A = this chain, B = another copy of it.
Amino acid sequence: MPRKNAFYAQSGGVTAVINATACGVIETARQQRTHIGKVYAGRNGIIGALREELIDTSKESTAAIRNLLSTPAGAFGSCRHKLKSLEQNRAEYERLIAVFKAHNIGYFFYNGGGDSADTCLKVAQLSQTLGYPLQAIHIPKTIDNDLPLTDNCPGFGSVAKYVAISTREAAMDVASMCETSTKVFILEVMGRHAGWIAGAAGLAAEREGDAPHLILFPEIAFERKKFMARVQRAVKRHGYCVIVASEGAQYKDGTFLAESGLKDAFGHSQLGGLAPQLAQMIQTELGYKYHWAVADYLQRAARHIASQTDVDQAYALGKAAIEFALQGDNAIMPCIVRGKGKRYTWSIGKAPLDAVANREKMMPRNYITRDGFGITQAARDYFAPLIVGEAYPDYRKGLPQYVRLKNVALPKKLKKRFQL
């Protein structure tokens, strides 16, 4: 069997551990040199394939690839370019196949969320239609934790850990001074449609009365009056109120509390600024002194406090992707399967891509308390193991040492340029 090369691309918002998956893919492929050729990475994700801008990862040292395990963000670049349907833009799919053919690529590893699962499936389908032998495998990644069929998504555990720790720390700050100063603190976190990240902040609380006192989920319609009553109650009972608000918090009619009016390439509204809006609302209605923080990219890039469990799983999924490919799998996604015992265990499973693409997994209603402002024991049991372990990076002069790859370009073979 002639050895085929592999193409690997990172898609969508990057995470603290997506490079750990890249590390798993590349290290495992290197161990299987007799079966698989080189791993080419897309520069800036899938558009790297469309533009024939491929990175030859074989030019990177063993140490550099190993260091991907502890480096956040996307080492090869990522993008949010969504391939349209086959009918709407067959040319893009055909271009992908042409580039793959030119570089003898027989494996397509796409590392992303729901949108890229969909793209990956379409590429698998078209390669069959065109009679080009290609195995397309989607590797899950999203801090949003909203992919179906996997117990959790790499990237989420580390954000969850960061958010829970930050909530605990900031709440201690507020508690120290609430007698004469700030009474209300709001931390805005990511999560457009699903409240997984905001929910994980609930882990910060260990005893009755601990922060966060209120969590705002996108899944629960925001009711101003009810919310204000709860803020006031927390301040009266505990002296202060800590609120963790999902950026996707919305009114009953689906309007986000914090629409900025901008949309990204996928047509999603760009959110942000919910925290200052809530703070203003509380100030006007209750008169409390407030502070607010918006973690934004800090939360998903915080490799300095990544979850060891998350790093391990991210790596294992990259490794499994190569192994499944070499076993002949196509149009699948390796996934995390949670063991049934009381003690947390996990293993790698396999999900068919057509069951993954374009389906969002919301927080189950029984993970949210009846009043809509907190998490239940079921949610705690789900979240808790995902943040276990501190995967500290190496430091030099007080700063984490993150690797920068050489990212050497593979010479182009196609004459045609492709207009995106």
Q: Which residues of A contact B (CB under 8 A)?
A: 10, 13-14, 16, 44, 47, 71-75, 77-81, 161, 164-166, 168-170, 172-177, 179-181, 185, 187, 203-204, 262, 264-265, 270, 272-273, 275-276, 289, 291-298, 300-305, 307, 309, 384, 387-390, 392, 395, 397-400, 402
Across the interface, do B180 and A81 meet the contact criterion of CB distance under 8 Å? yes
List of 3 A-B pairs having minimum Cβ-Cβ separation, nearest first: A74-B176, A387-B398, A73-B172
Q: Considering residues A170, A270, A307, A402, which has the most beta carbons from chain B within 10 angstroms of its beta carbon?
A: A170
Q: Which residues of B contact A270 (CB under 8 A)?
A: 289
Across the interface, do B301 and A297 meet the contact criterion of CB distance under 8 Å? no
Q: Considering residues A73, A175, A176, A309, which has the most beta carbons from chain B within 10 angstroms of its beta carbon?
A: A176
Across the interface, do A264 and B181 meet the contact criterion of CB distance under 8 Å? yes
Q: Which residues of B contact A395 (CB under 8 A)?
A: 390
Q: Considering residues A165, A264, A289, which has the most beta carbons from chain B within 10 angstroms of its beta carbon?
A: A165
A-B contact pairs, 27 of them (CB 8 A): A72-B173, A73-B169, A73-B176, A79-B177, A80-B181, A81-B180, A161-B398, A164-B398, A165-B304, A168-B399, A168-B400, A169-B297, A170-B296, A170-B298, A172-B402, A173-B297, A185-B297, A203-B399, A272-B292, A276-B276, A294-B294, A305-B305, A384-B398, A387-B398, A388-B397, A388-B398, A392-B392
Q: Which residues of B contact A172 (CB under 8 A)?
A: 71-73, 301, 402
- A389's nearest neighbour on chain B, judged by CB, is B398
Provide the bound-state CA to CA distance between A289 and B16, in Å. 22
Across the interface, do A170 and B293 meet the contact criterion of CB distance under 8 Å? no
Q: A166-B302, A170-B297 are in contact. List 15 more A-B contacts (CB 8 A).
A: A13-B177, A72-B173, A80-B177, A80-B180, A164-B398, A166-B301, A169-B303, A169-B304, A170-B301, A174-B297, A187-B298, A276-B276, A292-B294, A293-B298, A384-B397
Q: Which residues of B contact A72 (CB under 8 A)?
A: 169, 172-173
Q: Which residues of B contact A71 (CB under 8 A)?
A: 172
Across the interface, do A175 and B399 meet the contact criterion of CB distance under 8 Å? no
Across the interface, do A297 and B291 meet the contact criterion of CB distance under 8 Å? yes
Rounded to whole Å, the gap between the CB of A288 and the closest CB of chain B is: 11
Across the interface, do A165 and B399 meet the contact criterion of CB distance under 8 Å? yes
- A305's nearest neighbour on chain B, judged by CB, is B304
Q: Which residues of B contact A294 (CB under 8 A)?
A: 275, 292-294
User: Assuming A272-B291, A399-B164, is B78 touching A177 (CB within 8 A)?
Assistant: yes
- A292's nearest neighbour on chain B, judged by CB, is B296
One of B78, B179, B185, B292 near A176 (C-beta < 8 A): B78
Provide the bound-state CA to CA distance between A272 and B387, in Å. 31
Provide the bound-state CA to CA distance between A53 and B275, in Å. 35
- A175's nearest neighbour on chain B, judged by CB, is B73
Rounded to whole Å, the gap between the CB of A31 and the closest CB of chain B is: 27
Provide the bound-state CA to CA distance between A172 and B404, in Å. 10
Provide the bound-state CA to CA distance between A387 and B398, in Å. 5
Across the interface, do A79 and B298 meet the contact criterion of CB distance under 8 Å? no
Q: Which residues of B contact A79 (CB under 8 A)?
A: 177, 179-181
Rounded to whole Å, the gap between the CB of A244 and the closest CB of chain B is: 12
Q: Which residues of B contact A185 (CB under 8 A)?
A: 297
Q: Which residues of B contact A292 (CB under 8 A)?
A: 272, 294, 296
Across the interface, do A176 and B77 meet the contact criterion of CB distance under 8 Å? yes
Provide the bound-state CA to CA distance between A297 and B295, in Å. 11
Q: Considering residues A77, A262, A264, which has the most beta carbons from chain B within 10 angstroms of its beta carbon?
A: A77
Across the interface, do A390 and B387 meet the contact criterion of CB distance under 8 Å? no
